[in-house]
Amino acid sequence: MAMAQSGPSFFETVNLYFDKAAALTDYPQGLLDQIKVCNSVYAIQFPIRRNGGYEVISAWRAQHSHHRVPVKGGIRYASTVDEDEIKALAALMTYKCAIVDVPFGGAKGGVRIDTKKYTVQELEQITRRYTAELIKKNFIGAGIDVPAPDYGTGPREMAWIYDTYSAFYPGAIDAMACVTGKPVTQGGVRGRVEATGRGVFFGLREVCNQVDDMKALGLSRGLEGKRVIVQGLGNVGYHTAKFCQEAGCLIVGLSEREGGIYRAEGLDVDAVVQFQKETKSIVNFPGARNITPTNLTLEADCDILIPAALEGQLTRDNAPKIRARIVAEAANGPTTAEAEKILLDRGVLIVPDIYLNAGGVTVSYFEWIKNLSHVRFGRVGKRFEEASFERMLSAIEKATGRSFPPEERLKIVRGADEIDLVNSGLEETMITAYHQVHELWKFTRAGDLRTAAFLSALRKVAATYLELGIFP
C-alpha cells in the first residue's frame, strides 16, 4: 500500500517534475499550463446489490490531455483510489505515451474497492456498471477513450468491458478497439499480459549497457550478475523478475504485502511464486531470510531495486537507507519528490516510471491497431516470408555445396508470428525512447533521467499543439 506523506500530493508531485522540465524550455506559459492541466474528470457514484442490500461504489475516469485522441489509460481497482491519484496517473500516461511515440493522450480510471472482499459476480456487476456509466458520458470508445488493465484488473475485466460496450453498440465494426488488454480469444494481442514487465526488462537492459554510466556507479556493463530486489510480485513484478533472471541477474530479494524474503545466493522466481500459490504467502520460503515489515526489503543490499507495486514507496524516511545503485521504477510514482532528491544527492541512478513502464501502453497500441485492422499480426506475410527465406537458403546451399541440418533450416526460414512482431516492436520502442531521453540527460541541463524524460515528453506534446496552430 502507498505510504502516507505530509508533502505534496501525487498529482502535485507529477506537476513539480513537469515544472522542473518546463523551466528548461522557452514555451509560452499558456501552452505549458494547457499541457499540465487535467482536461476532464468524471466522478461517478453508483449502487450495486450486495448482501441483501445496496452498496454505493465510487469511481473516476480522468482524461488528462486531448492533444491526441483517443486518450489511453488503465483502470485501477483499489481501496486507496481517489481523484488525485487518478489525475496523477492520467498525467503520467500523457507523458509516457509521448516518450515512446504512441499517438494517444493520457487517461486513467479507478474504482474504489478492495477486490479481495468481492465475489467474481460482484466484480463483474461493478465492471459492467462502471462501463455503462462511461458510455453514458461518452468516456469510452475506439476513437475517444480506450481503457486497459492496471492494478487490481486484468484480461477478465477488459473482456467484461468489451462485452458491455458491444451490447450498447451492436454491430459497431470497431467495438473491439474500445479497450485493450483483452484475452487473445476476445481480440487481445499475444504478449500483452507480460508487456509491462518485458518493457521494464528491455529498458533496464539498455540502461545497464551504457558503459560510462555504469562505470560512474561502480558497476560493470550489462545485466548479467547484477543483484536485484523486486518489490511486488503481481503481473509487472513477476515478469520483470523473470526476464531479469533469464538474462543472468541474481534475484536476491522479493517482497509482497505480507513481508519480504532475501537470499544473497539468489532466489528462483518461479519456485517462489509456486510456494506463494501453495501457502498464500512468500514468507518462510525455504532457504531465504524473512524480512518484516515488508518495506524493509527496499533497504536490503542490492545493485538494482525495482519497485513494482504502488506509488509512494520510497520516501524521505527510507531513502537514506536505500543501498541500491539503480532504482528502476516499474510502478507508477513509487518515489516521492523528497526521496528523489535524497537519492540523487547520494548518486543513485533513478530510471523513471514514465519511461520504464511504458511497455504496457506500447503493446496496448499494437492491440488497438490489430483491432482496427481486423487482422492478426503476421497472418498476411508469414508464409510469404518463409517461402522467400526458403528460396534464399536453397540458393546459398547450391552456391556453397553445404546443406543445412533440418532443425537449423527450420529456424532460419521461420516467418514471424504475432508474438515475435509484438516483442520486436516493444524492444525497438524501448531502446529508441531510452536513447532520446539519454541524449537529453547528457546534452541539456536536465540533470537527471526523470527531468530528461519529462523534457522529451513536453517537447513532443508541445509540438503537437504548435502544429495545430493553437499557440502561435
Class of residue 101 by CB neighbours under 10 A (exposed 0-12, middle 13-18, buried 19+): middle
Using only C-alpha atoms, the chain has a radius of gyration, in whole angstroms, of: 23
**What distance in Å separates the CA atoms of residue 197 and residue 362, rounded to the nearest whole number?**
12
What is the 8-class DSSP label of residue 398?
A: H
From 108, 226, 242, 382, the catalytic residue: 108
- Whole-Å CA distances, 386 to 223, 375, 406, 424: 34, 19, 14, 18
The HSE-up count of residue 258 (CA atoms within 13 Å, CB side) is 9
- 253 forms beta bridges with 229, 262
- Whole-Å CA distances, 255 to 2, 7, 126, 181, 275: 14, 26, 30, 26, 13
Report yes or no: 111 and 77 within 8 Å, Cβ to Cβ.
yes
The kind and range of the H/E element at 244 are: helix 235-246
Report yes or no: 446 and 440 within 8 Å, Cβ to Cβ.
yes
Residue 57's φ and ψ, nearest 5 degrees, are -105, 135
Report yes or no: 358 and 100 within 8 Å, Cβ to Cβ.
yes
How far from chain centre, in Å, is Cα 375?
25
Read off the amino acid at residue 304.
Answer: I
Report yes or no: 158 and 147 within 8 Å, Cβ to Cβ.
yes
Report yes or no: 130 and 111 within 8 Å, Cβ to Cβ.
yes
**What distance in Å separates the CA atoms of residue 431 and residue 426, rounded to the nearest whole number?**
9
Report yes or no: 437 and 449 within 8 Å, Cβ to Cβ.
yes
- Nearest to 66, CA basis, from 127, 4, 141, 144: 144
Report yes or no: 148 and 74 within 8 Å, Cβ to Cβ.
yes
How far from chain centre, in Å, is Cα 72?
12
Render 223-236 in DSSP notation, one character per residue: STT-EEEEE--SHH
- Nearest to 44, CA basis, from 59, 31, 57, 34: 59
**What distance in Å separates the CA atoms of residue 322 and residue 463, rounded to the nearest whole number?**
38
The kind and range of the H/E element at 59 are: strand 53-63
Is 108 one of the annotated active-site residues of the chain? yes
Give the cell for residue 42.
468524471
* Residues recognised as catalytic: 108
